[in-house]
Structure 1
Amino acid sequence: MNRKLCMALLCLIISAFSRAQNVYFPQINSTDSVAVAKQIQVLANEVINQYQTNDDKKAYLDNLFKLQIIAGKYTDALNSIAALRQIAKTDGTQYPALLYAQYELFCRAELAKQTKGIPFKQAFYNLAGDFFRTLDDKSAVSLSFSFTSRSGISDLKSDFKSGLVKQQQKDSLDIKDAIELCKAYNLMHVLEDIEPLSKTIQKADDNRRYIIQDSVFIKAKNGVVLSAVVVRKRGIDIPQPAVMLFFIYSNLERSLYEAKNAAARGYVGIVADTRGKRLSPGPIEPYEHENEDVNTVIDWIAAQPWSNGKVGMYGGSYSGFSQWAATKHMNKALKTIVPYVAAIPGQGVPMENNIFLNVNYQWAFYVTNNKYTDDAVNNDNQRWSNLRNNWYNSGAAFNKVDSIDGTPNPWQQKWLKHPAFDKYWQAMVPYKTDFAKINIPVLTFEGYYDDGQISGMQYVLDHYKYNPKANHYLIIGPYDHFGTQQGGTAVLRDYHLDPVAPMHTRDITFEWFDYILKGGRKPAILKDKINYEVMGANVWQHAPSLDKMYNNTLKLYLTNIKADSNYLMVDKKPVKPASLYQEVNLADRTTSNNDYYPDPIIKKQLNRSNGLFFISKPFDKPIQVNGIFTGELKAIINKKDMDIGVVLYEVMPNGDYFELSYYLGRASYAKDASVRHLLHPGVKETIPFTRTRMVSRRLSKGSRLLVVLNIDKNPFAQVNYGTGKDVSEETIKDAGGPLKIWWGNDSFINVPVMR
């Protein structure tokens, strides 16, 4: 075969392959719903013909059945759903037999319409009604959100239309884009048909199962009125223990779900709104009254005829904080708390180690703009991104951020007046010896990559510190803030979790309530006080205390000895004192310092335009990093203060960087978060740091540890110009000359390890 013929055949093969990866999709009027439906059906059929299975059969079937529904192949879709359920039985999915029940009923109603001539609405109503009557309470609650849209049909239509308009810029789509467009249409199409019917069916089913009170008012002795939702199981005549969620993100649908979930598991379910939210009159004042208001609700619960006097609490983030706030003044009816990723006002939000962050700037608007939540404001990511960058580039004082935004933020201004963890913040949660009085059992859930982990872990540390006999359990693994509250996901920021890592937070929570409030069995995962998943080892391990997680501590000194693009990190203190020089122009807005955020968790390369990099020697055998790394920095600077970042990585044998933990903190508060101690220019200072992220990971042979030491200067937090004034009042004019630092080679980190 000659060369020209070979080339011609190759071109034909490439052309055919290229066509096979795309499907024809002509331009259509996005407002013509009939034309759109016809063309989407054609598109779905073409995609089905080309769509090939891959290694992820679950993802393939998940896409396939949705394409089959659009194509009108309802029997095929039912078969695909059945295959998905078989896979779900082996991968830890909750209620696998109920997976995609809404789509199954939709298909069966369409088939009844085709084969028996029964109108779709009638068929679906009858099928869904019969289906819900066969379910037990827990199964029915688990499907609460499956049959309705979270944000509303109009939003689903808007999302699909946006996707359609975007794709209309060309006359063909690749398979991936075509599938996403079809899935958006499928979700809109199915829920548009079933949501109104489903709401009617589910309401009738709920009333059959429960006594529901969604407008309960609770009046405190001081005259404050709070609102709540209360759900009880019908047919129960004896007093029951109660489980409560205290909630600032008021949403009646969510509140009913949470309360029904508790009732379905054998408790009286209560969701109480924070002061000023939902039906509660008066102003909304975040953080400031929870230690009073939560106890008001607990007292009210204990006095009800349906209560046996035992109350448990659970919930994440703000709801986690509210549980600890309640323990500020222990209530005899509160028998246990289960906080997930609990916040500490003044230590985790709105500042971290005394540095105010921009990431939650919009939060005050989100929760105080109305009686529920201002989702439109909170989700306006472009506005908040622009605000951060505009403020940073302007060099304005941090307390002028709301002026740049154009909307006053009175809560931000109030919080900025308390840069120390002072009495204002201390009054909100247990502080120091308050923890000694907390003798109820506690179960904490946390995540290695929870942004606010330093808050959740501070409660754990302080509880054990001031009450050595604390009956406190911890479950922690590779989850972020929202993932911890759900039990994790298969993939987090491009990191594929170990198969054993995902869990079911809610199931464990109620197993715990059964154990504490009903004398049931302890949750199986709680084999000891500290329960943690070891990343890279695919195992859960257990220890009686945080200190028993490790049997050795690597003390590594940050030297001035150059090693390629890094400096060496060694286990022996250098004999000869020396230093490394770093200079940061705080007035320079063309650069940012301190790239510390773990997203993605595994990085191919790091930003080396600034900061100092220290690397250890390779490990000669596998080793586990287990716990919270700490350190002590020695530095001479030419100013009175600085904000420091320390990031800890594993450098894997293939050269990738796996982020383990990080520290962000203000030097002047390093020794005491409640009192500022300014640094002395020209004098060698000792700056300890402890409030870093807990982590557990198995490092392989050949891996090394890398520390990145830097000064925090970026759009995501205050810029500390080092004058010694209130940092919120400093401007770029206060920058003066560059910040000059001489880092001593007697600086070190402590890394807890299990050999």
Structure 2
Amino acid sequence: MSTSAFVDVIVERDVPVPMRDGVRLSADVYRPAKGGPCPVLLLRTPYNKADAQTMNYAHPQWYARRGYVVIVQDTRGRWTSEGEFAPYEHEAADGYDTIEWAASLPFAEKKVGMYGFSYCGAVQWLAAAEAPPHLACIAPGMIGSDAYQGKTYANGAFALAALQSWVLFAAQDTALRQGRGDWASELSAHYAGIHGFYKKLPLNEPPEPMKELAPYYADWLRRPLRDEYWAARSLRERYESIDVPALHIGGWYDLFIEGTLENFNCVRSRGASEHAREHQYLFVEPWFHMPWSRYVGELDFGPEAANRIDALQLAWFDWWLKDIRPDNPPPKVRYFEMGSNVWKEANDWPPERASRGEGRAAYYLRSACRANSVNGDGALSEHPAGEEYPDVFVYHPSIAVPAIGGRSGAVPELTPMGPKNQLPIEIRNDVLVYTSPPLDEDVAIAGEITLELYAATTAEDTDFVAKLVDVHPDGRAYNITEGIIRASYRHGLDKRVPVPSGETVRYEFSLGSAAAVFQKGHAIRLDVTSSLFPTFDRNPNRIANPGEVTEADFVTATQTIYHDAERPSRVWLPVVTTS
């Protein structure tokens, strides 16, 4: 089969694919006009098969010209497919049935690979867990491990921006399918004005079209604890069923990066066979959810960060579907190191290049008087404090600290995403700012950043938020990672326990994973506050269902952050050698 770009491609549109329950899903099929049979690439999407996720990937014809049958299918209840849309509910069975149907086509080899990111990555995992006989490999991009943690909630905080923007977008197709153009227009208007929409309370009383067309949104709000509902929808519960090689594609500013890393590590250790466990590969760029580019937020990560995913995937599928083995075995892990803007290779994640003990270096929160804002005297030090006064700030949900950049969603115009200068929020007194002296040498990190925080609050519940920030010599301050904990979840995600008023509580929570170099002359900074809006919902400082909260529930919380010999608040950085 020629791989010339001039190979003609036959396109068959709206091909019906029967499911076991009689529902027919619609697919577009792209295949080389001559030669064959050819192995199959399958992309199952709720976002319109005609689009085929071409914001990030090459068009299906590009893959077809290189010797593949490419099938792009609308998932159940979406666009041209029959059935009712219920997120993730039918994707395992529908994926299995589609894979086996594809393998039976007369122009197809009986080898199927899958690709796609976000929801289209989740459908790969759900299908793979059903062990369809003709699925040979997958390439899931930017998808998490758990339906609750890291997707719908984060340590109890509701992922407001990601979910509201997604539901408003998804429900528009449902409205059009039901002939409700008026509802589609209303949803589109809310989508366009989403920054005001985020502030509307209560969350469980959305506009009528959203309530009627996306009942799953109300289900998510009604279940703020991780229970059997979430477990039944999580890949985390299915690792032992995965029996295919997988290329895990992630981005350091993607909201699902922690789940991507977990999927890689857990299938390596718990997959169904040695074949699967031995053939998990991880590839992490500095990107956010979309689009994929060297330009992320306000930073240019250089030519090495350009989007070359299609070439990577082509080599992957050639290996597993055409038995064209690479000349040299690829590394298990390839990751982009931000700051130095170079690629690194490793056998594991996190890499075994620790320079200090187990690689965890403590940087202590310090202040002489008050760390409030960038105008204060907060410091980040490698030396623990002796006796120091705590830092105090006030959080009221009506004036929540806005999220600038970060890992909140899918569309940078609608949700806070990527690296951005944090100075506009660091001038606020309800943000504590702890900054190291300018560095005498590069400090490289690769792994998970965690915060050990000793704090008291006057409220029965509240949030604590922290960001790791790279401060440039000219004062610009770019976020690297962020994390949140809802205080009432400090004993686990399956229960809420009030916080004793004024009592010092030790919190330990993740700020996420990263690979980055703080360069010589830069400084390391930690920002601490109590809100990250609209990335997460505003905690009213009371224990309440997130869907039922109104402005009348808002109360003020006075927060005290301790950093002394007995209460050494500190951020743990996974410091590695730079060799």
Q: Give the TM-score taking structure 2 as reference length.
A: 0.83
Change (3 A) 1:414 1:241: same
Q: Which residue of 2 aligns with 1:679?
A: 499
- Does residue 704 in structure 1 map to residue 530 in structure 2? no
Per the alignment, do residues 671 and 498 of structure 1 end up closer, same or farther by CA in structure 2, a change over 3 Å counting? farther
1:555-581 deviations in whole A, cap 9, x for unaligned?
122234347623222334434486332
Task: Considering fraction of residues, name the structure with more strand.
Answer: 2
Change beyond 3 A, Cα 1:600–1:326 = closer
Higher RCO (Cα < 8 Å, 6 or more apart): 2
- Give distance in 2, aligned partners of 1:385 and 1:728: 18
- CA drift of 1:630 comes to 1.4
Paired residue for 1:740? 558
Match of 2:285 in 1: 477
- In the other structure, the counterpart of 2:48 is 250
| TM-fit CA distance, 1:512 | 0.6
2-side partners of 1:604 and 1:637: how far apart?
A: 25
Query: Which structure: greater helix fraction?
Result: 1
User: Does the residue aligned with 1:479 lie in a helix, a strand or coil?
Assistant: coil
Hey, what does 2:340 align to over in structure 1? Answer: 537
- Match status 1:398 vs 2:194: no
**Of 228, 231, 240, the match for 1:423:** 228
Q: Which amino acid aligns with 1:367?
A: A
Spell out the pairing of 1:340-739 with structure 2 (5 A cutoff): 340-343=141-144, 345-356=147-158, 357-370=160-173, 377-378=187-188, 381-389=191-199, 391=200, 396-402=201-207, 410-432=215-237, 434-464=238-268, 466=270, 469=277, 471-484=279-292, 488-489=293-294, 491-522=295-326, 527-548=330-351, 550-551=353-354, 552-562=359-369, 565-576=376-387, 579-586=390-397, 589=398, 591-593=399-401, 595-598=403-406, 601-603=419-421, 605-607=423-425, 608-609=427-428, 610-670=430-490, 672-690=492-510, 692-712=511-531, 714-715=533-534, 717-736=536-555, 738-739=556-557
Change in 2 beyond 3 A, CA 1:437/1:714:
closer
Q: How does 1:53-132 map to 2 (within 5 A)?
A: none
Verify the 8 A CA contact 2:261 2:349 in the aligned structure 1: no
Which shifted more, 637-646 or 663-672?
Answer: 663-672
SS in 2 for 1:726: coil
Q: Separation in 1 of the partners of 2:217 and 2:4?
A: 41
Distance 1:407 1:539, change over 3 A: same
Contact 1:498 1:536 in 2 (8 A): no
Sort the Cα spacing of 1:637 and 1:463 in 2 relative to 1 into closer, same or farther, 3 A: farther
CA contact (8 A) 1:556 1:750 kept: yes
1:91 match: none
User: Could you tell me whether the CA contact under 8 Å between 2:52 and 2:72 is conserved in 1?
Assistant: no
Q: How many correspondences in the alignment?
A: 536
The answer (yes or no) to whether the contact 1:604–1:655 under 8 Å persists in 2 is no
CA contact (8 A) 2:404 2:420 kept: no
Larger radius of gyration: 1
Partner residue in 2 for 1:114:
none
Report the Cα distance in structure 1 between the residues aligned to 2:60 and 2:226, rounded to whole angstroms.
35
Aligned sequence identity (%): 24
Quote how far apart the aligned CAs of 1:522 are.
3.4
Is contact 1:512-1:523 (8 Å) kept?
no
Conserved? CA contact 2:362–2:570, under 8 Å: yes
- Distance in structure 2 (CA, Å) of the matches to 1:727 and 1:306: 52
Supply the RMSD in Å over aligned alpha carbons. Answer: 3.2
Give 3-state SS (helix, strand or coil) of 2:193's partner.
helix
Structure 2's unaligned 5+ residue stretches are: 178-183, 407-416
Change (3 A) 1:247 1:725: same
What's the secondary structure of 1:555's corresponding residue?
A: strand
Q: Secondary structure at the match of 2:196?
A: helix
Counterpart AA for 1:139: A
The alpha-carbon distance between structure 1 residues 376 and 510, as it changes in their structure 2 partners (threshold 3 A), is farther
User: Separation in 1 of the partners of 2:450 and 2:327?
Assistant: 32
8 Å Cα contact 1:328/1:429 also seen in 2: no
Shift of 1:248: 0.4
Counterpart residue identity of residue 384, structure 1: I
The reply to whether residue 262 of structure 1 matches residue 66 of structure 2 is no
- Structure 1 594/549 Cα, relative in aligned 2: closer, same or farther at 3 Å? farther
Higher deviation after alignment, 615-624 or 670-679: 670-679
1:753 lines up with 2:575 in the alignment: yes
Give the 3 Å change call, closer, same or farther, for CA 275–518 of structure 1 in structure 2. Answer: same
Against the structure 1 CA distance between its residues 604 and 258, is the aligned structure 2 distance closer, same or farther, given a 3 Å change threshold? closer
Cα 1:707–1:523 shift into 2, 3 Å = farther
Determine the C-alpha separation between the residues in 2 that align with 1:329 and 1:383.
Answer: 41
Tell me by how many angstroms 1:545 deviates.
0.9
The amino acid that maps onto 1:358 is: A
In the alignment, structure 1 segments of 5+ residues that lack a partner are: 1-135, 141-207
